[in-house]
Amino acid sequence: MKKKIAGIVIVLFVITLSIFGYREYSNKPAAPITYSGTIEGTDLPVQPELGGRIIDLPVQQGQIIKAGDIVAKLDDSQAKISLDSAKSQQTQAQAKLNDLLGGARAEEIRRLEYVVTQAKANLAALEPNLKFEEENLATNQKLYEGGAISKQLVDAQQNKLDTLKAQYQSVQASVNVAQASVNQAHAGNTQPTIQAQKAAVDIAAQSVKMAELSLSKLIIKSPAAGQVLYKHVELGQVVTPGATLVTILNPNDLWIKIYIPEAKLNEVKVGGTASIVVSSYPGKTFKGQIQYVSNQAEFTPKNVQTKEERATTVYAVKLSITEGKEQLKAGMPADVTLE
């Protein structure tokens, strides 16, 4: 009987220990899960608004540059001609307004007639160049159709012709303005005529500003500080508007993308923090903050090691690195622990 009682006591003792152990285990906080990713940076392409031939390319691959540093310069000879032409038109418009306000004199009429003569001479001087460039474009188009040259050369010749046509039209406008001035001087001045000429002066001033703006756009500057990651062009190359000249990596915008299983999604919130560890700095922890949580499920990317893991439904989570940007670099593998 005593042996039976002792056995029962032992069984009860074992059950008690099991219950106690289970409670202790269940109350113990779960170990944090570590997710793997790769540190990435934001790439910024530097692109010109206008096309042309590169005459200066002062940056090198790997170079650290500041916002506003010159990345490239394009040929500005035609843009300077356009600016000079716009300034000439502005001067003529202002001179005409002054004449209208002061009244026409015989010597002033002779001066205006001389301006007409000069403007017509300038127009006649441009005509052979215009015809020459038109013939060059036609030749380039035939060569391109025959596969002898690239489309880029045809586009460059088209841009050159368009610029020359614009210059020709500008000089033609100068002839018209000068002739109108002569006609007006002979006809006499009225208040509506004076008001119209004031408007012409304003338009000419805006044309000068536009020409100055176009000239300034041929100097391509870096929109942000960073490192020149890639250089896509070379000195002397003709580029089109929007072509990527260099790609800049912004070292101050580092981030990591990790993939969270659906079961753990309730633990992730935008604005939450995380600890980041990289093998390059053993024993050191960096901080990150959750910027974005995808609202659409996807399968784990193919670079995950096992097929079973790749079949898991996950959500992409982007974390910005908030600490250690001067030490961490794009391309470093990293382990991320959410806090």
- Please indicate, yes or no, whether residues 67 and 101 belong to a single structural domain of this protein: no
- Please indicate, yes or no, whether residues 119 and 156 belong to a single structural domain of this protein: yes
Is 276 within the bounds of a domain? yes
Sequence-ordered strand ranges (E) for 281-332: 286-293, 298-299, 313-321
Q: Which residue has the higher pLDDT, 299 or 136?
A: 136
- Please indicate, yes or no, whether residues 202 and 81 belong to a single structural domain of this protein: yes
- Please indicate, yes or no, whether residues 58 and 113 belong to a single structural domain of this protein: no
* pLDDT at position 80: 93
Q: For residue 20, how many other CB atoms are within 10 A of its CB? A: 10
> Distance between CA 337 and CA 276 in Å, rounded?
7
Name the average pLDDT for the chain. Answer: 83
Report, as an integer, the average pLDDT of 274-299.
88
Q: Which two tokens stand for residue 194?
A: 């004076």
Positive or negative, the Cα torsion across 129, 135, 136, 138? positive
Confidence of residue 52 (pLDDT cuts 50, 70, 90): very high
CATH of the domain at 334: 2.40.30.170
Confidence of residue 17 (pLDDT cuts 50, 70, 90): low
CATH of the domain at 48: 2.40.50.100
Q: Model's pTM, two decimal places?
A: 0.51
Give the residue among 87, 299, 294, 296 at the shortest CA–CA distance from 201.
Answer: 87
- Please indicate, yes or no, whether residues 69 and 82 belong to a single structural domain of this protein: no
**Domain of residue 98, residue span:** 77-217
Q: Is the pLDDT of residue 308 over 50?
A: no
Q: Is the pLDDT of residue 91 over 60?
A: yes
Is 255 within the bounds of a domain? yes
Q: Which two tokens stand for residue 168?
A: 């020709």
C-beta of residue 69 within 8 angstroms of C-beta of residue 221: yes
- Please indicate, yes or no, whether residues 182 and 58 belong to a single structural domain of this protein: no
Q: Is the pLDDT of residue 304 over 60?
A: no
pLDDT in tens, 21-34: 445 444 545 557 78
* pLDDT at position 233: 94
What whole-number percentage of the chain has pLDDT above 90? 32
Is 322 within the bounds of a domain? yes
pLDDT in tens, 97-117: 887 777 556 677 788 888 888
* pLDDT at position 173: 87
- Please indicate, yes or no, whether residues 276 and 328 belong to a single structural domain of this protein: yes
One-letter amino acid identity for 318? K
Is 17 within the bounds of a domain? no
SS3 state of residue 252: strand
Name the β-bridge partners of 256. 39, 319
Is 19 within the bounds of a domain? no
Q: Which two tokens stand for residue 50?
A: 């206008």
> 45-59, 181-195, 260-274: which has the highest mean pLDDT?
45-59
* pLDDT at position 253: 82
Q: What is the DSSP string of 120-179?
A: HHHHHHHHHHHHHHHHHHHHHHHHHHTTSS-HHHHHHHHHHHHHHHHHHHHHHHHHHHHH
Q: Which residue has the higher pLDDT, 266 or 336?
A: 336
Is 13 within the bounds of a domain? no
> Distance between CA 306 and CA 316 in Å, rounded?
18
- Please indicate, yes or no, whether residues 203 and 229 belong to a single structural domain of this protein: no
Q: Which residue has the higher pLDDT, 224 or 188?
A: 224
* pLDDT at position 260: 87
- Please indicate, yes or no, whether residues 106 and 186 belong to a single structural domain of this protein: yes
Q: Is the pLDDT of residue 43 over 50?
A: yes
Number of folded domains in the chain? Answer: 3
Is 2 within the bounds of a domain? no
Helix ranges, 217-310 (H): 307-310
pLDDT in tens, 277-287: 998 888 899 99
Q: Which two tokens stand for residue 106?
A: 């015989």
- Please indicate, yes or no, whether residues 83 and 106 belong to a single structural domain of this protein: yes
* pLDDT at position 92: 92
> Distance between CA 18 and CA 14 in Å, rounded?
6
* pLDDT at position 325: 78
pLDDT in tens, 158-214: 988 888 888 888 888 888 888 888 877 776 656 777 888 899 999 999 999 999 999
What whole-number percentage of the chain has pLDDT above 70? 83
> 9-18, 49-58, 116-125, 250-259: which has the highest mean pLDDT?
49-58
* pLDDT at position 84: 93
* pLDDT at position 305: 43
* pLDDT at position 105: 63
Is 4 within the bounds of a domain? no
> Distance between CA 302 and CA 294 in Å, rounded?
18
- Please indicate, yes or no, whether residues 98 and 162 belong to a single structural domain of this protein: yes
Name the β-bridge partners of 198. none
Q: Is the pLDDT of residue 9 over 60?
A: no
Q: Which residue has the higher pLDDT, 150 or 301?
A: 150
- Please indicate, yes or no, whether residues 85 and 206 belong to a single structural domain of this protein: yes
